[in-house]
Each structure stands twice: as structure tokens, then as C-alpha cells.
Structure 1
């Protein structure tokens, strides 16, 4: 597929060959939880869990218990858990002062005969300005890739779920590459410390080491020396990115720029970076059909019902709806023609956390990247780009998309989306105030 970029990265990407039967799509969060627990129980060599957080709740306890049981049964197992340093040391937003998950990790290590180290990675000195947003679990030679973190709702432990994408890739080279980055690019850093041991250093004392880690990560990449640049068969390329104009951002924009017929984008938070908006506009101008799937504001994980007390964080879903309405208004002609289709996902009181891209009938991007300014500038992100030039994965690809579209409705007119007068009084008052003092643009950049 040709690229419109003069310094294109796509043709230079090294990838690992895949077979069609080595890629499995899981249809839901409950299946994802069962698969993860089964893989942990049957592991023989290594288990590397990387997530934004591993929560102290029933599902989180189930996962951590499974890791300890696996280590106890097979002491030679290499078991590592990596989470965000700052996120692990605070409580849930709006839940008051809490010790955070790190206290639970320490209790688990203290009371178990087996040892499961939990490392905290500080991407920044403040959570607002960047977190560890890497995804992917390496279990033996299998990579389980999802945008989900580990708690009750992400794992559908009880009646509610948070919908994401879930893929298994059986590939020893990919698994080795992802483990290598965690082991040598993260855990080996002086900024990274075990959260499951007492007497944690303060973030302030790590300021210099954190700066060094972030500088190194800006130039880091997955080791693909065992890969190939051959583009004739099914393959997967791991991508890494943090900071402005990083390789992952560039590939995302190149993929959109290279689209010839059909582009599908999923994001839970409609706040697209200007570079992405620009490429979408160009794609529409050259006749590409585009589908964008976002969560209804009530399916946003920050949504708080109007019956509950107002919190500033609860204004976020409305900010995203405002952004979506503006976009729809600018492109109403494309919506009318059917060239642009904006879909809202809603399934009861469940939430939507799905992200990724499908480009023509060839590329599929698996990622935790929210395709927003924060992901493009602040957080440490990764992705797996599947290249399928022969169409070997078309059936599971269509199946996954059918699952996603099952609970969506198309926006016919931009007027279908609500405006400020329709919002709860606390939300409307806050949004009017931030608009007056002109900090709305800043909020869009960091949230």
C-alpha cells in the first residue's frame, strides 16, 4: 500500500511472520478473563503482565492469586507484573483517601510463600502528565493483547462489563521482543521499583531517574532484529511510542493517509489529535469511506448519573460529546452521503473502552492508544500492527467488527447529539465556566 509521507515508516517496519491459526479473537470480557486465568495456570516458562493497573477487587484478587499459585507450583517460572507507579499509589477517583493498590501488593507478598514481584513504572512525576499505558501479557510464547486493565468491570466478573478488544497471538519472536522491552527497557531502570515491598521511595526522590527513563523511552523500540521487511505474507509489527511525533503516532497517521477505500476507527474518548483530524479530512476528500465508533456519553467510564453529586471528572463525557458534535457538524455533508458514518456504542449500563483501526482489507491495528492528544504526547503507548496482504484473517476480522457494531446506532444528523442546555445543571455550569476562562483547549490536551 503506497504512503503519502516522504519519510514513511511503514515500508521500513520489521515484522514477525504469522500464521492465520496463530491469531485468535476473543468476543468479550468474560471470555478474556477465563482465557487469562487458564493461560496463567498452564504457564511453564514465563508470565509477564503489563497493565495500567491491577485493582484490589474480586477480579484483581483472582488474577494475583492465580499468579502466586502458578509460581508456587512451578518455582522456576519467571513471573513479573508491571503497572503504573503513580496509579498504584492512589485510591479510586472520587472515593476519598485510600492507600492504593500498592498496600495490597505488599500484603500479598508478605502473606504468600511464593513471590510475584509487582514493579511500578513512573512515566512522569505526576499522573496528569503521563502514565504507563502499555498493553500486552506475555505467557510462554503467547501474547494476550487488550486495552483492558485488570479489575471487576474490565474482566466482567459480575453483572457489568467494560467492552474492549481481546486478541491472542501465538508467536515466540513477538513474545520475546515484548518481554525484552519490559525486562531491559523498564524493570532495569533506576526509576522503577517494586511496589509489593515496603518503604517505597518518594516520587520526588526519583525525579532525576524518571527524567532519564522518559528520555530513554523516547528513543526506545521493540527489538525486531529477528523479524523481516518482507510484505508478502501475514505478519505482526510491535510499535512503541511516547512524546510528540513518536513512531507509533507517525504510523497511525501514515495508515490513515494510505487508506484507499475503507477506514474504521474506534476510540472511547472522541478528542482526536489535529494530525489525525487532518488525515481523516484528506481521506474523505479522496473518497475513502470512514466509520468511527465511539461510546455514548453514558457508556463512558467517567460518566456519573445526574442523580449523583457533581464531580469535575464527570464533565469529561460531555466534553467528548461536544467535540463529536462539532466534528459531525463540519462533516454533515459526508454523513448525508453515507461516506462518513459516526456510530455511538451503548449496551445498557455497561461501558466502552475500545480502540484501534482497520485499514482497507489489509491492516489491523491493535492498541491501547485512545487516539487523543494525551496518548499522542504524554502517555507511554504501544500497538501491534497486523499486515494481512493475502486476506488470511478476513473472517475473524469481520466477526470482530460485527461484534463491535452489534450495539451501535448511527448518528444521522449532528443535531442528534445534545448541547449545553440539555446537560445536567452542574455539568453545564462547569463547562460554561471553563469556556469563559479559555481552559477548554488545555483540558482537551491532557484528558
Structure 2
């Protein structure tokens, strides 16, 4: 017991020693729905005074994406001195979204069309290649920087994230007014992306080819592995404070902090992830905490709340296997730990609400630490993608009511799993799915797929 306490104190010391930016409690606002997020984002864009930087995995050519890009052009038209830029993943922007039927071959074609439709109004869109191929890493940074605010959400900019046309993809949404924090995030973006030949405009008639920037992409990836946010962390341990974290690869400071968060739990940890495909290290840490008597709550999306899930009456593609692979992981996890479910230490909730989907991620520890993050807590986020996060230290529970309300909304459409048999076994899957699983398992290709997607 003494040894356990010693290690827990060491882990907490790591968190306490991280440099922190002071935060005024009244300047953090939590939103609880995609409609509120969309409305607030549009309002903030249209009232921006001196800068707008939109960083997202994708800005898609659909109703949701068009609303945002139109607002950016409108804001620039009203204020010609506005500093503005959009950064999206270079690979994702140059292919059609799986299952989409847009008028343009890819989003980049649409960006160029918007330039021609708005002569004299500059809203540059840049493509950021995190690796030479999309399957090996994407731009997964979050945080829209508008004046002195950071609008932090895991949402991309398209119909489902902005709740257009009757469907939504549920995420987390926070508005943080904090000039040093916004400056820190923006300084990283400018230093890493606007100083390298790997990053180029997408809204132009002739776009650069992948092979032309292959060398620069590799150099950028190495730089991203070695660089963190730069800021003056002057907050004391008695203040509400935020530590911005960014990283790429297994040894990143973001991954280290997630590890330390799990290790430092004193009473209870709450963890949200859209895909149950955690790295082995995190799985081992969670099991170790259960053995020490700690309480753990995991809120994960049902397989039908995965954006790759399709109903049985539609054509099935290999990509549609993913929700089943994630459910298999979860069922095996619960099978091993059923005794902790029975004694009340482990609570697992499945989120499901009709045809809507789930994209919530984050960690709450002992009502003292909150992590807002782009990291899906899966193998791909841990190893391949460029991720970031905001670690909030709330020693005096100044955000307790907001956190409680947010968790209440997240739990609204969940059901508690009391036994692993409540999840389907392979034998209960559709015939097509069963056949593919039985073919893949002998060569372990299912594990590779789950790491890359």
C-alpha cells in the first residue's frame, strides 16, 4: 500500500509540475449540443475583430461546411484587415469523403470554386500533410483561434458535426477566452506550418503533387515529433489553470500526460472515447487501477453510433468492419473484468441515439483534472496522428457545475452494460461480417486495420 501511494504521488507531481496558464473561471463556457456549437462558431466568426484561424481535419463541401466558409468570406468582406486562414489535412481534402456524392471530386476543388465566386476576397485554405499517406497520419489538431478565444471541440466542419439535415455527431464544445492560450496555439501553427514547403494552398487551380513535397513532409513530421507549445506558464497551483499539450508519436508529451492522468487517480476516473481500441499501455493502467480499488467509468459509442456503421440493407465495404472490431475489443475487455463490473468498480456505458453518431473524448480525474483532447484514445491517435489537448487543473472545483452538466448530457443516451453478454458475439453478427472476421483472424490483419483507421 505504501509503495502504491508513493507511485501515485510521483504521478501527480508530474502533473503539478507542468507549466500552466492562469484561467478566469467565468471565461470558460461549456456548450452542450452541436446546434449551440454551430450557432456560437458562426456568431464568433462574424464578429471577429482581428484574426480567425480555423484548424480542422476537414472542411467539407456540404451544407455545414458551406455555412462556415460563407461566414469566413462574409467576415473578411466586412473587415479587410482581418487576419484569416483555414488549415485542413492535405490528404483528406483531396479525396471524396467515403460514401459522399458531392458535385466536386474533392473539397479542394470546391475551395477553388469559392475563390472564383468571391473575387478580391482572400480566405486562404492550406493543406497540411502529416505523413506521406493519409493512412499513416493526419492533421488532428483542434482549437479554432478567433481573436482572444479558443473554441475547442473534436468536431470537423460538415453536416453531421454541425447538426444539419436532421442528423448529428455528438462531441464536446468549449469556448475559452484566454489571450495567452490563444497566442500559444497560434504561435505553434505559424512556426510549424507556415515555414515549411510541405504546407501549400489548396484553393488554387494547380495544386502541388504528393511526390513533390514527400521530402518536406518527412522533415515536417520529424519537427512535429520534437516540438511542443511555447508559452509562459505563470499560474500557481491555487489557480484555475490550463496546460496546452501537443504531440505526435508514442513518446509525445500529450501521451505521457494521458498516462500520468490515469496513474494519478485517487478515487475515480471517467473516460470517454468514440472507439474502444486503446493502446495496450492504457489498458494495462486501467486494469492496474481497478486492482487498487479505484472507480472507473468508460463512456463509449455503440457500434451503431460509429460513423462507419451501415445498416444491413446497404452495400457492405471493408471499412464497415471497424465498428464490429471495436465492439469485439470492448467485449473481450469486459469478459476479463466482469468481476469489477459486478462489484461496482467498473461502469461501462454505451451511447446510442437513433441514427446519430458519437465522437466524445476526454478524461475527468477526481473532480480536479479535466482533459479536453483531440486524441481518440485509440492506437491510431497514440502513434500516427498529430494530436493536441488542454489539461485543466481545477483544484477548487470552480468548473464542477459545468463538468457535472456536461457529463449529464453525455450520459443521457447511454445504457449501462452489466454483463459482457449484453454485447453481441461474433456468432451473432451478420453473415458477411462473420465471414470476413474468420478470414482475417488467422493472419491478425484485423489488428492492423484497427490501428490504421
Instruction: List gaps (5 residues or longer) in structure 2.
Output: none
Report the counterpart of residue 390 of structure 1 in structure 2.
396
Q: Contact conserved, 1:4 with 1:257, CA < 8 A, in 2?
A: no
Alignment of 1:139-158 (within 5 A): 139-158=146-165
Q: Contact conserved, 1:296 with 1:345, CA < 8 A, in 2?
A: yes
| SS of residue matched to 1:429 | helix
| SS of residue matched to 2:258 | helix
How much does 1:9 deviate?
Answer: 4.2
Q: Choose the corresponding residue for 2:75, options 42, 66, 70.
A: 70
Report the counterpart of residue 282 of structure 1 in structure 2.
288
Instruction: Give the whole-Å Cα distance in 2 for the aligned partners of 1:381 and 1:348.
Output: 30
Q: Contact conserved, 2:171 with 2:359, CA < 8 A, in 1?
A: yes
Report the counterpart of residue 340 of structure 1 in structure 2.
346
Instruction: Give the whole-Å Cα distance in 1 for the aligned partners of 2:158 and 2:73.
Output: 17
Matched, 1:296 2:302: yes
How much does 1:13 deviate?
Answer: 1.5
Q: Contact conserved, 1:8 with 1:254, CA < 8 A, in 2?
A: no
Matched, 1:263 2:269: yes
Q: Choose the corresponding residue for 1:187, options 194, 200, 212.
A: 194
Q: Choose the corresponding residue for 1:221, options 207, 222, 228.
A: 228
Matched, 1:352 2:319: no
Matched, 1:208 2:197: no
Report the counterpart of residue 419 of structure 2 in structure 1.
413
| Bigger Cα displacement from structure 2, 104-113 vs 390-399 | 104-113
Instruction: Give the whole-Å Cα distance in 1 for the aligned partners of 2:161 and 2:226.
Output: 31
Q: Contact conserved, 2:88 with 2:125, CA < 8 A, in 1?
A: yes
Report the counterpart of residue 448 of structure 2 in structure 1.
442
| Bigger Cα displacement from structure 2, 190-199 vs 3-12 | 3-12
Report the counterpart of residue 234 of structure 1 in structure 2.
240
Instruction: Give the whole-Å Cα distance in 2 for the aligned partners of 1:124 and 1:3.
Output: 37
Q: Contact conserved, 1:119 with 1:187, CA < 8 A, in 2?
A: no
Q: Contact conserved, 2:353 with 2:413, CA < 8 A, in 1?
A: yes
Q: Contact conserved, 1:9 with 1:250, CA < 8 A, in 2?
A: no
Q: 1:6–1:148: structure 2 CA closer, same or farther, 3 Å change rule? A: closer
Report the counterpart of residue 63 of structure 2 in structure 1.
58
How much does 1:12 deviate?
Answer: 3.0
Matched, 1:14 2:19: yes
TM-score (norm 2): 0.96
Q: Contact conserved, 2:130 with 2:385, CA < 8 A, in 1?
A: yes
CA shift digits 1:185-236 (9 cap, x unpaired)? 1122110001111211111111100000000000111112x22262111001
Q: Contact conserved, 1:135 with 1:368, CA < 8 A, in 2?
A: yes
CA shift digits 1:328-354 (9 cap, x unpaired)? 001000000110001000111110011
| SS of residue matched to 2:341 | helix
Report the counterpart of residue 164 of structure 1 in structure 2.
171
| SS of residue matched to 1:211 | helix
| SS of residue matched to 1:395 | helix
Alignment of 1:289-328 (within 5 A): 289-328=295-334
Runs (4 or more) in structure 1 with deviation over 3 Å come to: 1-9, 94-98
TM-score (norm 1): 0.97
Q: Choose the corresponding residue for 2:374, options 363, 368, 371.
A: 368
Report the counterpart of residue 90 of structure 1 in structure 2.
95
Instruction: Give the whole-Å Cα distance in 2 for the aligned partners of 1:7 and 1:212.
Output: 35
| SS of residue matched to 2:321 | helix
Matched, 1:175 2:171: no
| SS of residue matched to 1:55 | coil
Root mean square deviation, CA, Å: 1.5
Report the counterpart of residue 38 of structure 1 in structure 2.
43
CA shift digits 1:22-76 (9 cap, x unpaired)? 1100010011000000000000010010000000011111100100010111010
Instruction: Give the whole-Å Cα distance in 2 for the aligned partners of 1:384 and 1:3.
Output: 22
How much does 1:411 deviate?
Answer: 0.5
Q: 1:69–1:353: structure 2 CA closer, same or farther, 3 Å change rule? A: same
Instruction: Give the whole-Å Cα distance in 2 for the aligned partners of 1:60 and 1:19.
Output: 32
Q: Choose the corresponding residue for 2:29, options 14, 24, 27.
A: 24
How much does 1:369 deviate?
Answer: 0.5
Matched, 1:79 2:104: no
| SS of residue matched to 1:218 | helix
How much does 1:94 deviate?
Answer: 3.9
How much does 1:15 deviate?
Answer: 1.3
Instruction: Give the whole-Å Cα distance in 1 for the aligned partners of 2:280 and 2:144.
Output: 31
CA shift digits 1:92-132 (9 cap, x unpaired)? 11448962100001111122131101010000011001000
Q: Contact conserved, 1:13 with 1:229, CA < 8 A, in 2?
A: no
| SS of residue matched to 1:256 | helix
Instruction: Give the whole-Å Cα distance in 1 for the aligned partners of 2:91 and 2:403.
Output: 36
| Bigger Cα displacement from structure 2, 227-236 vs 166-175 | 227-236
